[in-house]
Amino acid sequence: MAKKTDAYWRAAGVAALLGLASVAATVHAQVPIPPVSPREANLNRLLDAYWLGSKALQLLLPLALLCSGYGARLCRWLGGQVRDARFLTIGLFGSAYVVLYTLLSLPLDYARHYRLPMSLGWLHDQTVGQWLGAQALGLIPWIVAAMLLLWIPYALMRRSPRRWWLWAAVATAPVTVFFLIAQPVWIKPLTTPYVALANANLRASIDDLASRCGLVHVAVVVGGSDTAVYGVGPTVRIFLESNLAKEETPDQIRFTIAHELKHYVLGDNWKLLPIAMALALLGFWLTYRVGHWATRRFQQRIGFSSLDDPASLPLLILCITALWLAVTPAFLAFDRHIEREADRFGLELSHENDAAARLFASWAQQGTDWVQPDAFARAFFYTHPSIAERIQIANDYHPWREGLPLRYADKCTMPSSAVIP
């Protein structure tokens, strides 16, 4: 902290010596970090409770299906409808599970993702019917995935009962790559309409920043309520929220685009591939070990005697869900690191420190983001650095002013401070 203060006064002194008092006042304006309001603290606790409720359901549903034997019975009944065709039985049981989970979590999802955002003004023009329709549409990719993919681990269990978990993890790689490719072009447009970017000013701003990173044409689409980069390889594109031009000033938009360009230039979405593979490896191995133990001890109760029986699906889901919960804090810490670095890259590329800090402060003011989420939220569901942290980095990170090296100078031709004050 003292180091930052020294840098501040040193830079301010140099600017004053050069007679640039007015420029210095602009450059070194510090945007104050808003205090955590009682409303935010209450909302924090409420969201923690919703999260706990939804995770409890994710664990209890497969556990209940296993322990009651109803999972096995449902699986047998579905198998009977398709003359015990193995491929169809697995796909249908997986689809039935997805529908059952969605129906059971509907009251909680309605409270968390419709009532609460409506009461806070985050959602405006969506009727309950439209929201329910989006939930139903959101089931489609899950059902398609269940029908097309679930047979893979079960086929491997039959062929290689001792090593199937290893081969299944290897098979996760092409599936994950396909998902990353399909997400922006087939999956996201299912629930949200997207159009090509038509705003000429925005296009020019993007092209200007992208050209510094050697990019000739960056695919950009507009729609929905979040700004992010989706896709990999041929389908990677920047998604801009539909109200971006209304909600952000031109200099804030420059920072936002520069932040997204970091995800684009550094191929951040590819980083999901090794994570998915490691998770699959651990999850399938855990299922293999737990399955071996459970089928010996609780065969009568759970209703199956071998893991390659499609009725074991709730066990597979339970093991992978439990593992995912255990690694969530580490995964989110990595996610926040990626986002922190995107802010750093965005500042190096745009020099829009003041605009960025004001943008983050405005989110806190509007109540659309938290100044400082509690430790539980940070550990289990907070994907970005807090507003307090983001304002601080926007206020303090400007090595180009002191002639210090930039972290991403090898990725793009970063402007010198003389070009953009």
List residues near Zn ion by CB under 5 A: 339, 342
- Least Å distance, CB 378 to Zn ion, is 17
Sort strands 195-196 and 220-222 into parallel, antiparallel or unpaired.
antiparallel
- Least Å distance, CB 401 to Zn ion, is 24
- Least Å distance, CB 287 to Zn ion, is 33
- Least Å distance, CB 229 to Zn ion, is 7
Q: Which is nearer to Zn ion, 390 or 401 (CB)?
A: 390
Q: Which is nearer to Zn ion, 95 or 386 (CB)?
A: 386
**Residue of minimal CB distance from Zn ion?**
342
- Least Å distance, CB 384 to Zn ion, is 7
Q: Which is nearer to Zn ion, 342 or 361 (CB)?
A: 342
- Least Å distance, CB 342 to Zn ion, is 4
| CB of 225 closer than 8 Å to CB of 117 | no
Q: Which is nearer to Zn ion, 154 or 230 (CB)?
A: 230
Q: Which is nearer to Zn ion, 288 or 397 (CB)?
A: 397
Q: Which is nearer to Zn ion, 115 or 336 (CB)?
A: 336
- Least Å distance, CB 263 to Zn ion, is 6
Q: Which is nearer to Zn ion, 339 or 352 (CB)?
A: 339
